[in-house]
Each structure stands twice: as C-alpha cells, then as structure tokens.
Structure 1
C-alpha cells in the first residue's frame, strides 16, 4: 500500500522524545492480518500516559498510541473478517506494543477484533470504548459473584472518570441503586442525572478499625490506593469489590478480616486480555441491556486534528464524560 495517511506517533531515542502528527504508509505499521479504515478512537488515561516522556506504558518505539478503535475492514487474511465488516478493537497490545487507534488506517491481528453488534454504531462503540468495556467487565464479575439489583446499593468510586461514569450509567440501566463517589463536587448533580441515586464525597480517609458498618453490597473501584482498604471494610457479607485501576496508587494495606469474617472477594478487572468468548458476550450486552439511555449525553467528539489539545484536557481530569476522536477524512 503506497497510500499515505495521517497518524499520531510517539518516538523516543537517545536525543529526544516526540509525540506529533505524521504521514505513514501501511509499511510503517505493525504486522497484522486485518487492515482497518479507522472511523473512531477515544482518549483513555492510558493514552495520556503513553504520550509522555519516560512513561512506563510504551514498550517499543516508534509507535502509534490509542488503545481502542472502531472502523471498517479494508482488507483481511483472517477467516473471521472480510472487507466491509465493521469491527471494534480494545486491549491486547494495541497502542502499547502494537500500533494503535490514533491513525486513519490500522493493521491488527484478527484475533483481537470483535464484530460490531447490530445495535451499536461505530461512534457509540468508542463512546463506550476501553473505559466502558472495563466497566462492563466489572459489572459482569460482580454479577458472577451473585450481585443483584435487589441486594442493596453498589458503590462506584472515581465516578467522574471514564470507567466510573460508564459504571454509574450501566448499573442504573439494569436497575441497581448506585452510590457514586467523587471529589469533583461541581459534577455531583450531573452524576445524579446520569443515574446515581446518591453522590458522596471522595473516600480519602482510612480508619483504624479492622471492620466498619456495612453500606454496599459491592463496589466498582478504578481508583485503588490505600483507601481501597476502607471500601473493603464496608462491603456487605459475601460481597465483592472489582478493581480496575490505580489512580490513587498501586498499593494498599488490609487486614484479613474483611475476607475471613465477611467472605469479601477482591476481583481484578483486566480489560487487556479478557477472554475473547466472554469479550464478544460483553459487547453484545453493551449493545443491549448495558447500553445507557443517555450514552450520547457524555460524549465530546473531536476531529483528529485536535487530539493533542484534548490529551492535555484529559490529563487534568477536569471534565465528566468520554472524548471520542473522529478520524474520518471528512471530519
């Protein structure tokens, strides 16, 4: 393929780190058996980190970041996909060790792809994106642990972030009483409008007690850090916490008491290598019962040319919702 296309590429050599737009050809991209005309990607916090020097996200340079994409197959040597198929890619090595979604054309392994469900558009797939898929994994893991809408409220931490706000909306869509936790008081009313029954301040203190009065049947936690300890103390007997991030830190300290006296489970939500059969099932759910009614209310759609501006906005965590990047040439 000699056609050139626009891409956002990061590079790091002995002299300098760079992150900027460039023109590429297919020969410049990572190997793969499916070539995709990318219509949409999204900005995730992992993408923000990937565009910073001395990051611990990118393994090999140069690389096109962007950990998710949605588009249309241009060519395929994979038996499950053909030209014209609409597809979604999230996770695996995409945008980390394999050229990702911040490119008008992508080439990926067909084993990483999911067919776009009938009841989703390509844009909606990226409003959901990696953040929404992680939220869906968290909900599924908790439901596998017998979480039900009749057993009490569910806590969502970091509720203004991508995983948090998608969790609030999805849980509300399937009938749960959602307690949203956020330190951004200016967004509390918006969280209520999106489905939170109650909004509480950020949990930022850890008490000395080994256990506390129970408040929630389960929790979705993309925040992590030492305050995860406090959440575990307040989960109802035989409940669980699904952890997917470490915004407040990668370490926490806990006694064994929540686990041995209340049977609490700590579940890891891994969106990178989630098994393909379960991945396909969750994307079907995301087009059906987990699809929020107000999905489009949280989107900010930007042209590809404004990517750098919005990466900077995402780094500040000063907004609620999802940033969708429109990579179509006419955008």
Structure 2
C-alpha cells in the first residue's frame, strides 16, 4: 500500500506545529470509505487550524483541510464504486477526523457526495465549504420565501471566499447583489462577478434599532454591529442569513425588526448539515455553475508546501478569491 503524504497538525509537549509528513494507512482516523484525494481548498477555518490561532481541532494530531475531492478507493456504501468522483466538505474533517490535506481520506459514507455531472475535483474545490455555505444560505432563504422582488441582497465580507462566491451565486440565481467590502481595489472584480453595487463597510452601519428598509435580504459574514445593522435595514419579511463572525460574536440588536417587519434571521451552520440537505445544496450549485464558469472565478492553486504562506496571507487580510490545493503525493 502506497505511503500517505499529509499536512499534519500537532499540539503536544513541544507546542503547536504543522507540516508535511509521511503516514501509513494505520495512522489515519477510521471511516468506512476511502478516498484518493486530488484537490482540497483553503478556508479561513483551515488557516486558523493550521496556525493554532483558532481552536478548531478537537483532538491531535490530525491532518488539516476541511474539504476534499477525489476518487473512491473503497466504500461500505454500495452506491459508490472504485473510481467514482466524489467530494466531502465539513463533516468533521480536520476537526474530529483526518482532513483533506492528504493523499487519502477516510470518512463515513454518510458524508460523501457524488461530484455533479461535468465537474472535476478542482472545480468542486473552487466552491468547497465556502461555496457550500453560500448555497446553503440561498436554499434556506428561498425556503423562507426570499424573492428577487423584495430587493437587493447585501453580501458582507464580499472579497472573502464565502462572500465572493455568494455574490456570483445570488446574481446567477436572479437577485440583485450589493456587495459590501473594505477593499475598494476589488470593486471592479466584484461587479464582474455580478454585484450591482459595491458598498463600503461604513455605509451599511446604523445605530438605530430600525432604519430605512433598503435591502431585500442579506448574507452576513461579519456579525456584531454589521449584522444588527442589516436586520434594521431589511424590508418586511426579508431574510438575513448569518454565517460568520469576523468582527465578533455579539449581536447588539433589538427585537424590533422581527416583530414590526417580520424579518427572519437564519443561521447557516454548514459543517454538520445532514446528507439529504447537502445533496440539495450541491444540486442547487450545479444548476448555477458549470465547469467553465467555475474556472473563470478568481482562483489560484498551491501545493501542500505552500499552505503556510497562504494561511499567513488569509489571516492578515491580504488574500482574495479562492485557493485550491493540489494534492500530489509525488511532489511531497
């Protein structure tokens, strides 16, 4: 059996450390499905885990990477045959089980999703957890009667992975998008992705419990006062989806938007989503993105060796677009 090459994270008597290691099959956490990994991706959560700046891993050591896409080696699920193209996002990867920064992943078959037709593993990882989160937000909002006629959707953190993909996705789904960003140098690209307008962070902040209704709904990656301000400026029966807390976990809001305008606050918890919902989200994403449109997004590629630099850029706010990770055992 071939050796397994992985970006492995430790926290022991010598402190927090991470790097590429050669493992045996016996070193991996258990799972009834084995996947030969071709690509993974880099999310903010991966950067926190890989540097120790966030408490992401619940046990050590573990391989990093909350996403993976590749081919089935073997599975207890009869629906999967060796060679089938599949993906996994979240589902305990790099949290309770070894993650996708590895030439092989073992995972319970309940978390494995067949790749949408026409996509390769690289295209799937351009979306990854970030795209899945944006798709889950769109699904939940539409289930709660969000409609383009309600008005534009504000997307905060629009230059981050979730925000960028949400800007493109909501536009493709027929919504007007107002992208909110603190990086004006990327305004042109956000418009190319489908943003009707690009707003500054400050322009959406209000200290009023309810203000003029200007957004049909919102996808918020920021939290704190930004989330409270979006709630205060959403039209009657619009939805605000919350999926991040870049500026903090507090919510300095009142119940006024809920009881006067009927605004709904929807929580987006992508990591533990059950399989039936996962399949619906990936079907939704496949309806709006084909392989050609995915590769046209702002994407760069790295190998396992380049992860520390990517993590540093992401945590310092210097990254833009998506980073996919080519998992090439021969290069390790």
- Per-residue deviation at 1:227? 2.0
Q: Which residue of 1 aligns with 2:284?
A: 285
Q: TM-score, normalised by structure 2?
A: 0.95
Distance 2:80 2:291 in 1: 28
Q: Is the partner of 1:227 in helix, strand or coil?
A: helix
Q: Which residue of 2 aligns with 1:323?
A: 323
Q: Which residue of 2 aligns with 1:182?
A: 181
- Would you tell me which structure has more helix in proportion to its own residues? 2
Q: Is the partner of 1:285 in helix, strand or coil?
A: helix
Q: Is the partner of 1:180 in helix, strand or coil?
A: strand
> What is the root-mean-square deviation in Å for CA atoms of aligned residues?
1.7
Distance 1:32 1:25 in 2: 15
Q: Is the partner of 2:250 in helix, strand or coil?
A: coil
Q: Which residue of 1 aligns with 2:145?
A: 146
- Per-residue deviation at 1:204? 7.3
Distance 1:209 1:54, change over 3 A: closer
Distance 1:97 1:203 in 2: 38
Q: Which residue of 2 aligns with 1:309?
A: 309
Distance 1:240 1:181, change over 3 A: same
Q: Which residue of 2 aligns with 1:169?
A: 168
- Worse-superposed segment, 302-311 or 270-279: 302-311
Distance 1:208 1:284 in 2: 39
Q: Which residue of 2 aligns with 1:249?
A: 248
Q: Which residue of 2 aligns with 1:59?
A: 58
Q: Is the partner of 2:56 in helix, strand or coil?
A: coil
Aligned length: 330
- Worse-superposed segment, 100-109 or 72-81: 72-81
Distance 1:293 1:233, change over 3 A: farther
User: 8 Å contact 1:173–1:292 — kept in the other structure?
Assistant: no
Distance 1:182 1:210 in 2: 23
Distance 1:45 1:146 in 2: 30
Distance 2:326 2:35 in 1: 14
* 1:156-185, Cα deviation, whole Å (9 max, x unpaired): 000000110000001111221100000011
Distance 1:8 1:129, change over 3 A: same
Q: Which residue of 1 aligns with 2:92?
A: 93
- Worse-superposed segment, 295-304 or 160-169: 295-304
- Per-residue deviation at 1:319? 2.8
Distance 1:162 1:28, change over 3 A: same
Aligned 1:121-136 pairs, distance under 5 A: 121-136=120-135
- Per-residue deviation at 1:290? 4.8
Distance 2:138 2:97 in 1: 28
Distance 1:96 1:189, change over 3 A: same
- Per-residue deviation at 1:300? 0.6
* 1:201-240, Cα deviation, whole Å (9 max, x unpaired): 0147754422100011110011112221111100000111
Distance 2:204 2:135 in 1: 28
- Worse-superposed segment, 115-124 or 37-46: 115-124
Distance 2:196 2:158 in 1: 12
Distance 1:283 1:19 in 2: 31
- Worse-superposed segment, 71-80 or 41-50: 71-80
Q: Which residue of 2 aligns with 1:211?
A: 210
Task: In structure 1, list runs of 5 or more residues that go unmatched.
Answer: none
Q: Which residue of 1 aligns with 2:257?
A: 258
Distance 1:204 1:98, change over 3 A: farther
Q: Is the partner of 2:195 in helix, strand or coil?
A: coil
Q: Is the partner of 1:51 in helix, strand or coil?
A: helix
